[in-house]
Amino acid sequence: MTSSRLDQLNASLRTFKLDAVALNPGPTLTYLTGLHFHLMERPVVLLYAVGKDPVIVLPELEMPKANLFPYKVNAFAYGENPAEWDSVFRKAVQSLNLDGKKIGVEPRQMRLLEFRHVKAGAPEADFPDASGALSALRLCKDPAEVQKMKRAVKVAQDALEATIPFIKIGMTEKEIAAELNVQLLKHGSESELPFPPIVSAGPNSANPHASPSDRKLQRGDLLVVDWGATVDGYISDLTRTFAVGEADAELKKITQVVLNANEAGRAAGKPGIPCADVDKAARAVIEKAGYGKYFTHRTGHGIGMEGHEEPYMRGDNMQLLAPGMAYTVEPGIYLPDRGGARIEDNVVVTKDGVEVLSDMPRELRVVG
């Protein structure tokens, strides 16, 4: 599996006219090797040059992992003295003759720590953004990847269902988030969640990226829960909106509008259409209901090994959907100082439409 992924990397680098790529611990490195390395104070870098065996620089304590690669790799290990690290990196980079070449990096992943060591070995090299070449590798999920995502969805849904009976008026957002974290682990999520759950109620629910606070649930609140699980390195990312006791008429209305927008966004997805069409389909429902200015973010984003990856469901994104692409559909309406509603599902593109991976009830449910 990972050997064929290395072949795909080779082809992608050629397409993007890159001589090599430097990767530190993160989803792309795991995708290409099947191995997990820690992002820590000791740098780890995989160097891959077109047509050559990969090279990895790592601390001596991690050397046993070099024997676990699914293909031949040349390992350069260093000790505990940071003063010696540059010389080891220099030998590794020079073994691939990379000085003066184009060495792609992931700007959102590569730290200055690793970058400085790599550059010390290739001071005349260029370091262009390799995001396009690398995201293309993970853009379309194979059936095994989709199965892992399905399991991550099930774990997340089961965990929230197990949390709901605990939710009572007077509980704080932090207390609900704590219970949800426990249930996620109990139901099978890896301990490294995709993101800390968002639990926001009342006026706080009008903030799409609120952090759980000490605010207590009150009767009439809308309660937004945005959460996910991690299974075998793949994630889910879901949102449901609840009423604490009885919500007022307008809060009920915006939740129904968001549900209709979610349905429209899910129905719009199919191979060959631009990502923009998914956004436009969901947004049109909210705008027609008169709440367009209160939908303040894109309709969705890609998911897989990361919580946010390509493709992005934005109104200006003309990237065409293709089978295997997985993304969220998450329209929302946020009324300042009152409350907000968001409903988020995970879908994967099939040969003639999309498969919705999540099926937890979307209608407004009363809790507390």
Q: What percent of the chain has pLDDT over 90?
A: 98
173 and 110 within one domain: no
Question: What domain range is 10 assigned to?
Answer: 2-137
Query: Which residues, including other chains, have CB under 8 Å from residue 334's CB and lie 6 or more apart?
Result: 205, 206, 207, 208, 294, 295, 296, 340
182 and 253 within one domain: yes
125 and 23 within one domain: yes
pLDDT above 80 for 2:
no
187 and 120 within one domain: no
Distant-in-sequence contacts of 196-201, Cβ < 8 A, 24+ apart: 197/225, 197/226, 197/227, 197/228, 198/224, 198/225, 198/226, 198/227, 198/239, 199/173, 199/174, 199/223, 199/224, 199/225, 200/173, 200/224, 200/340, 201/173, 201/244, 201/339
pLDDT, one tens digit per residue, over 224-262 is: 999 999 999 999 999 999 999 999 999 999 999 999 999
Q: What's the pLDDT score for residue 9?
A: 96
- Using pLDDT thresholds of 50, 70 and 90, give the confidence band for residue 1: very low
pLDDT, one tens digit per residue, over 73-103 is: 999 999 999 999 999 999 999 999 999 999 9
Chain position carrying tokens 């649930």: 217
Instruction: Return the CA Rg of the chain.
Output: 23
pLDDT, one tens digit per residue, over 260-301 is: 999 999 999 999 999 999 999 999 999 999 999 999 999 999
- Tell me which of 79, 103, 137 is where a domain ends: 137
Q: What's the pLDDT score for residue 3?
A: 75
Considering the chain, what is the average pLDDT of its residues?
A: 97
155 and 121 within one domain: no
- Tell me which of 94, 111, 137 is where a domain ends: 137
Cα–Cα distance measured from residue 203 to residue 217, given in angstroms and rounded to the nearest whole number: 11
Cα–Cα distance measured from residue 38 to residue 45, given in angstroms and rounded to the nearest whole number: 11
The CATH number assigned to the domain holding 84 equals 3.40.350.10
291 and 255 within one domain: yes
- Tell me which of 137, 152, 178 is where a domain ends: 137
CA torsion 66→33→154→299, rounded to 10°?
Answer: 140
- Using pLDDT thresholds of 50, 70 and 90, give the confidence band for residue 363: very high
205 and 163 within one domain: yes
77 and 21 within one domain: yes
